[in-house]
Structure 1
Amino acid sequence: MRNKAAILWLLVVLAVGVHQVQFWRSARLDTDVLALLPEDEQAPEVDAATRKLADQAGRELVLLVGAPDWESAQRAADLVTAELSKDASLLSPSALDASSLDAALELYRPYRDRLLTPAQRTWLSRATPEELGGTALMKLYQPAGPHLTDWEADPLGLWPDWWAARASESTARPRDGRLWLSGEGREWVLLAWHSQVSAFALGADGNITTVVDRARAAVTTQVPGSRLVAAGVPLYAEAAASQASDEMSTIGIGSLVAVLVLVWLTFRSVRPIVLVGVSLGIGCAVAMSVTALVFERVHLLTLVFGSSLVGVAEDYGFHYFAARQGKPPSERGPLMRSLLPGMVMALLTSVVAYLALGVAPFPGLRQMALFSATGLVGAFLTVACWFPTLDTGALPVTSFSTRFATSLARWPRFASTRAWWVGTAALVLFIIGGLWRVRTRDDVRQLQGAPANLIADQRELGRLLGLPSPAQFFLVGGQDEEQVLAREASLKARLDPLVTDKVLAGYRAVSDWLPSAEQQRSDAKLSARAEAQAVAAVAQATGEEPTRARFADDVLTPERLLASPASAAIRQQWLGRLGEKHFSIVMLRGLNDPSVLPRIADAAQGLEGVRWVDKTQEISRLLERYRRLMGGLILLGYVAVLLLLVVRFRREAWRAWLPTVVGTLVTLAVFGWVGEPLQLFSVLGLMLLLGMGVDYGIFMLEHPGEGSAWLAVALAGVSTLLSFGLLGLSATPALRSFGLTMLLGEVTIWLLTPCCRLPPGKDVS
């Protein structure tokens, strides 16, 4: 029977091996932080809009090249362009440059008569024929110079003011065929490039980051006093991929090395090292294959989280070899059968705790839960099916293992004495005081820790260019495109007073560049009447009979605008049809003070089809909601585990259960005393403490008084501390908080478990 199980598991492992080869040849690793977040079940159109906005912006790279003078800035920009152009398969220049102005002029020229600013609209509706005629005469006799169009096409000079309003959305201006701005003691050239590869399909190679760094080095060395500021989703995606890869190596490899060193010190044999390593490797491979088959993509943070699996999955191998020491090879089968009840119960509690992560609708957490649970099952089956067959030689008792095993007799045991009750009272006071100080923080920015240099560049670029915020915006919906544009206009009328009061620096809307068809027709009639009066006044004053230019008969449509390079500035804001409705986004500039956000949100009150979206706040509230949900699940989990333990150990079940309860409370108390905020990933760590911490008590109760059980618990505890201690070094705040939770809890549980062991001569029967 044992050989059949070993052969069957071998076939499964071979199948996993084949899948692993195929997977890594075309690995689909995801670095998109949005993939970790829950779907917005209350407003799916907001989630769809956010994702589409992120997808459209996911390939854009914006650079500012600055120097003390304009000539040096142009030379530096040429160097950057040369470096970025070396690999056309990686990056291509975007249409966002000065040359796109010509394309925009050609697109809008036939529709010039129906492009009016609100101020122009008000003036034209109130101006007298004399005022209109005077303005037209003044424009006619202005000195010759560069003009956007001739006098007949724009006798009142309306078009330059309309373009000036559009230009106010950015501080960049055309100069010598480039986009230029001045600020912070430098002259800057604005460059825009487009990634040929999706940012969310990038690996850890950092190809775009390497190219940008090479361009930065060329600029700083060849043009004195110059600098390059770069920002864009591709850079963040590559930084996340590189960080995750480094952390996976540090945590996974570091944990594995620590485990193998412990095995060598304990058993002084290569065989346990090899077999424990095999069980860990197969467990991780099984986890990767199952996760890849269930999910379309495997997230890199799943691998970082799963790399801590090394600190848990080796428990089964430790337990087997600790009991195997000093016994002849002929007892391998009976030994494994005697160990299986405790190992199965330990596996069950751990898997249940891991799978509890999947209760929350976080795709990333579900991946982590599946990866960890299947990895543990894979490691356990390797130990149960293969170890009795492959472990053929003798395994003598070493002095290190003897000292460890005999230390159990010297370990203090809980007793009803004054000293123990005083210590318990002090611990209770410590826990109560810490719990009173516990504070919570639910912030979506915990999910990813971006490098400081990228954040600094993003802030500087946003400050210089006055870029709109991607996290707060208005979502405008309607039954058709015309209704969306009309509703945008209503919203802008509410926002204009906020801009006047300097609550906002400004906004950017599609209807600024594309008025609704009704508005275009109305403005066309208004400008036609006013310009006819102006032309008549000029004819009367000069004796000549100028004629007004002809314009397009139809209106400018979204399809025509989006097909032109002129739409580059607002293309990502036009979401088009999502479900049964059409949507657009109105983006806001100058959101530097969070206290003004409620006032801005009030601007949408009463406007049908207009919704204020603060994605940072929404996701943070969602994190808070599921932190509370998982907190409730922990309480239910403790009750369920206690009932499970009572079935097996009856009145002695508290001995396996109490250390984990105290470990959880001590962890929360320490967080309170040191000021570490409690967040969702801390609570998830507490959930896993429940599953793993109880394992130690189970092993001790299954084999009371046996030094081998204590040796296995000691080795498992130390190795788990090492693995999760390394996870606490993660640059990602969420993973770091998770690691610290596990570290504090495991230390407490490991220290308390032997204190709750059975008295000599007593068993659980």
Structure 2
Amino acid sequence: MKTVVELFKWSVLPLLILAALWTFPPKINTDVLALVPDDSMSEPVRALLSGPSEKLSSTVYVLIAGVTREHVGEQANNLLVRAQRSQLFQEIIWQRDATALATQYQQLQAIALNFSPAEQFIEGEYGNWLLSRWFGFETPVGVLQQDPLQIDAGINHFFAKQLGDAQMVNNAPYFQRAGEWATLLQLDAGRLAGSIPWQQDFNAWLEAEQSLAEVGAYQLLAVGSPRYAFAAMQQAKGEVSTIGVASLLAIVSLLLLVFRRPYLIAVVFYPLALGTGVALLVTQFIFGQIHLLTTVFGACLLGVSVDYSFHWLFAKSKQREQRISGLLALSAASSILVFLAQALSPYEALAQMGVFSAVGLAVAGLVVIVMFPRVVTSTSSHFPRVNWQRFPSLSPKTALVAAITAILLLLVIIISAPADDDVRKLQPLNKALQQEQLALGEWLSIDMSPRAIIVSAPSEDELLTLLQATQSRAEQLTLDEDFAVVSNLANVVLPRREQQRRIDALRNWLAHEENLTAVESAVGIDLNILALNERVNALEVLSLDDLSSYPLLEPWALSYYHRLTDDGALPSHYGAIFVTASATAWERLVSADWHQDVLLIDRADAISASLKLGREFASYLFAVALILLAALLIWKQGWRSGILRLGAAATGAVAGLLALYAADLALNVFSVLSLLLVLGLGVDFALFVAARATYAVNAVVCSAVTSILAFGLLALSAVPVLSSIGLIIAVGISVAFLAALMLSEQGANNGS
């Protein structure tokens, strides 16, 4: 009856945790930029990259192709209607609203002279330019009557270039290739694209659309970051679920086999569930959201927190539960210390993992120490009898030398070992999606990871001048081979002084009545002088800060950043030239000498560079954690015993690293995090097998079996980052267990 009452008391806390999680559900973040610390990039660079990157990460490009344009248009219109009904997208771009475009176009008339500077004006007399504009281009008389001075010519030419090879039919873009027609829709989900529920709903919607395409005899291709993110998440989720199920089955099987009391299943999983729930709430409270990688790494807590339960139950079976509590507290403290060091990382995602793990293990360990004595009244172990005293061990002197060698070797490897931080190698290759992207690329070019050339200058005019010079030099260096400029402010806006000069030149030219008389005579139309003067007098100089005020110029507004500075000589204006370039062309650009205010950035390379900094930071944190852990163990167990315990864990970590390199995988920031887990488990094993007491070693064997099984399956993952984590931990804890036995002191009796 007492046990039932205690179970009832302890059931209240999980209910409160569940209520809190229901009220404040965790917000899962899958954005890879969360891996990049705020201080690894300057504020302007991050701002310039995040705008287009955010747009790319939330947009899906859907191409519909078929034999006839009419059929393609009909299917696109049907898909548009279904997309609107799905309420999955904040913006759907296909057919443009002619009325809205006209309104937006009218807003540009006041700054019309600022567009397409290389095409709109030529050197020489203003009147000569105007006449060459009229007679060099066959401008319809109706257009001349509406815009006799061709002020809008720059706008027309500018937006014609943006259409590329597309043909506008009924306000929608169409492409023709090899006897087929296609049209493109852009589906933008905004910030919702990063949420897992949206990705699941979108994937279901897209599968239904692809089924309709098969029936309707047309081709539907879709690419975009949301698709890749969902595919990677599903693969990782499936593999982690497999690992979780395998671990659960292993733990349940061991509990039933060894203790033969079904109610212990609930008792053992209670600390795990409570620790996970509290860790989710604390991490959400501190960071406001939880990265997907945090939940994946959190799954690793399963093997660690269950260790505490196994140790206590085996000790209870030998009436040693009071003695074991002190070792449990020391084991938990060592693991928590390691993960708290990780929580100091400037990388939010990595700091989240540290906080999540430290809180989860602290709660799980505390629950075992406090709750188990009140709930578990008695238990008996049916573990096969093994005389662990006979397991071979090293002599005291050899063991000490081996332990010190392993610790020093681990420090050297973790700081100086070769590594590969390329973010591209952390993601799985989805062949089906790659084939879709290649097929869509045959129709049109959409670069999902644009490269950028960031330019800074003290003023707007200097920025635009430097942007234009930078583009020209880039084109010369690459000889235009596999290189194209996607967006450049200097191709849209002229320096302010040039804008003003052109406006003044046009006003002066218009002030001479004979110029207009000559035009009327040459063209054969009557000009409305009053209307012309009003329009010319309304022309304005465009400031880069005003770009965002014009909807049609919003894409270029994302390419500009203005930071206020006290010193006018310091760069305060930043612009980005977004380009597409082959690897060869980009290498040629990167190897060239540039102005000190020019910075070349590849988005993937920038993230990789930040991951490198994160790995180096984590490696130094690991070294600090190793030293602190040594101090803790020496303080609590004496210098010789402390070094032997830490040496066993270090041996496992070194073995995990060697296995990583043997599998042709490289060290990265997640490998370092895996070593933290090996270190924590290794110390845990060493503490409990120190005297080779049978009940303690049996508990370690059960813990090791569950962990090795779980992470052994993870090592087979097709996701490189998960595979490396699984391999390091599976091999590391296997060797750490053996090292703990070989480096332990012999017990004075046979398992007492």
2:223 to 222, 225, 231: 231
Structure 2 letter corresponding to 1:671: L
More displaced 10-residue stretch of structure 1: 14-23 or 65-74: 14-23
Q: Which residue of 2 aligns with 1:391?
A: 376
Say if 1:696 and 1:750, in contact at 8 Å, map to a contact too: yes
Structure 2 letter corresponding to 1:593: A
Structure-1 separation of matches of 2:339 and 2:523: 87
Query: Closer, same or farther in 2 for the Cα pair 1:561/1:645, shift >3 Å?
Result: closer
Q: Which residue of 2 aligns with 1:573?
A: 559
Q: Residue 254 in 1 paired to residue 243 in 2?
A: no
Structure 1 letter corresponding to 2:583: D
- Map of 1:196-211 to 2, 5 A cutoff? 198-203=192-197, 206-211=200-205
Q: What is the SS of the residue equivalent to 1:759?
A: coil
Structure 1 alignment gaps of length 5 or more: none
Q: Which residue of 2 aligns with 1:20?
A: 21
Q: Residue 651 in 1 paired to residue 645 in 2?
A: no
TM-score of the pair, normalised by structure 1? 0.82
Say if 2:36 and 2:611, in contact at 8 Å, map to a contact too: no
Q: Which residue of 1 aligns with 2:263?
A: 271
How far 1:536 moved relative to its partner?
6.0
- Map of 1:178-193 to 2, 5 A cutoff? 178-183=172-177, 186-193=180-187
Q: What is the SS of the residue equivalent to 1:314?
A: helix
Q: Residue 626 in 1 paired to residue 625 in 2?
A: no
Structure 1 letter corresponding to 2:703: A
Query: Closer, same or farther in 2 for the Cα pair 1:698/1:649, shift >3 Å?
Result: farther
How far 1:354 moved relative to its partner?
1.9
Say if 1:36 and 1:362, in contact at 8 Å, map to a contact too: yes
Say if 2:61 and 2:185, in contact at 8 Å, map to a contact too: yes
Q: Which residue of 2 aligns with 1:365?
A: 350
Say if 1:476 and 1:487, in contact at 8 Å, map to a contact too: yes
Q: Which residue of 2 aligns with 1:696?
A: 685
- Map of 1:156-555 to 2, 5 A cutoff? 159=153, 163=157, 167=161, 170-183=164-177, 186-195=180-189, 198-203=192-197, 206-222=200-216, 224=217, 226-239=218-231, 242-243=234-235, 245-325=237-317, 327=318, 331=319, 335-393=320-378, 395-398=379-382, 401-403=383-385, 406-414=386-394, 439-446=418-425, 448-449=427-428, 451-458=430-437, 461=440, 464-467=443-446, 470-477=449-456, 485=464, 488-495=467-474, 497=476, 501-502=480-481, 504-525=483-504, 549-550=532-533, 551-552=535-536, 553-555=538-540
Structure-2 separation of matches of 1:298 and 1:155: 58
Structure-2 separation of matches of 1:338 and 1:754: 20
Structure-2 separation of matches of 1:441 and 1:379: 35
1:728 to 715, 739, 742: 715
More displaced 10-residue stretch of structure 1: 502-511 or 240-249: 240-249
Q: What is the SS of the residue equivalent to 2:384?
A: helix
Q: Which residue of 1 aligns with 2:70?
A: 71
How far 1:366 moved relative to its partner?
1.0
| Residue-by-residue CA offset, 1:626-685 (whole Å, 9 max, x unaligned) | 323333443444444334333404434444233322222222223333322121211221
Q: Residue 93 in 1 paired to residue 75 in 2?
A: no
- Map of 1:642-681 to 2, 5 A cutoff? 642-647=630-635, 648-681=637-670
Q: What is the SS of the residue equivalent to 1:188?
A: strand
How far 1:745 moved relative to its partner?
0.8
Say if 1:438 and 1:669, in contact at 8 Å, map to a contact too: no
| Residue-by-residue CA offset, 1:302-340 (whole Å, 9 max, x unaligned) | 111101111110111111111222x5xxx5xxx322112
| Residue-by-residue CA offset, 1:519-571 (whole Å, 9 max, x unaligned) | 32233345667898986655566787757745342326467764444235435
Q: Which residue of 2 aligns with 1:710?
A: 697
How far 1:441 moved relative to its partner?
0.5
Query: Closer, same or farther in 2 for the Cα pair 1:589/1:632, shift >3 Å?
Result: closer
| Residue-by-residue CA offset, 1:69-117 (whole Å, 9 max, x unaligned) | 3233223312322321222464542377484764554344454455453
Structure 1 letter corresponding to 2:20: H
Over the aligned positions, Cα root-mean-square deviation in angstroms equals 4.3
Structure-1 separation of matches of 2:110 and 2:487: 23
Structure-2 separation of matches of 1:490 and 1:296: 43
Structure-2 separation of matches of 1:738 and 1:31: 19
Say if 2:112 and 2:539, in contact at 8 Å, map to a contact too: no
How far 1:689 moved relative to its partner?
1.5
Structure 2 alignment gaps of length 5 or more: none
Q: Which residue of 2 aligns with 1:738?
A: 725
Structure-2 separation of matches of 1:556 and 1:157: 14
Structure-1 separation of matches of 2:39 and 2:564: 15
Say if 2:660 and 2:724, in contact at 8 Å, map to a contact too: no
How far 1:746 moved relative to its partner?
1.2
Q: Which residue of 1 aligns with 2:37?
A: 38
| Residue-by-residue CA offset, 1:145-178 (whole Å, 9 max, x unaligned) | 9x8x326725679827961675157443423421
Structure-2 separation of matches of 1:436 and 1:309: 26
Say if 1:79 and 1:218, in contact at 8 Å, map to a contact too: no
- Map of 1:557-636 to 2, 5 A cutoff? 557=542, 562-567=548-553, 569-575=555-561, 585-597=575-587, 599=589, 605-607=595-597, 610-636=598-624
Say if 2:64 and 2:221, in contact at 8 Å, map to a contact too: yes
Structure 2 letter corresponding to 1:628: E
Query: Closer, same or farther in 2 for the Cα pair 1:619/1:227, shift >3 Å?
Result: same
How far 1:473 moved relative to its partner?
1.3
Q: What is the SS of the residue equivalent to 1:93?
A: strand
Q: What is the SS of the residue equivalent to 1:605?
A: coil
Q: What is the SS of the residue equivalent to 2:300?
A: helix
How far 1:484 moved relative to its partner?
5.2
More displaced 10-residue stretch of structure 1: 383-392 or 655-664: 655-664
Q: Identity percentage over the alignment?
A: 22
Structure 2 letter corresponding to 1:413: S
Query: Closer, same or farther in 2 for the Cα pair 1:760/1:70, shift >3 Å?
Result: same
More displaced 10-residue stretch of structure 1: 293-302 or 656-665: 656-665
Q: What is the SS of the residue equivalent to 2:371?
A: helix
More displaced 10-residue stretch of structure 1: 371-380 or 642-651: 642-651
Query: Closer, same or farther in 2 for the Cα pair 1:563/1:58, shift >3 Å?
Result: farther
Q: What is the SS of the residue equivalent to 2:188?
A: strand
Say if 2:111 and 2:541, in contact at 8 Å, map to a contact too: yes
Structure 1 letter corresponding to 2:70: E
Query: Closer, same or farther in 2 for the Cα pair 1:102/1:244, shift >3 Å?
Result: farther
Q: Which residue of 1 aligns with 2:740?
A: 753
More displaced 10-residue stretch of structure 1: 487-496 or 624-633: 487-496
Say if 2:62 and 2:223, in contact at 8 Å, map to a contact too: yes
Say if 2:94 and 2:172, in contact at 8 Å, map to a contact too: no
How far 1:297 moved relative to its partner?
0.9
More displaced 10-residue stretch of structure 1: 377-386 or 588-597: 588-597
Q: What is the SS of the residue equivalent to 1:555?
A: coil
Q: What is the SS of the residue equivalent to 1:359?
A: coil
Query: Closer, same or farther in 2 for the Cα pair 1:106/1:219, shift >3 Å?
Result: farther
TM-score of the pair, normalised by structure 2? 0.84
Structure 1 letter corresponding to 2:384: T
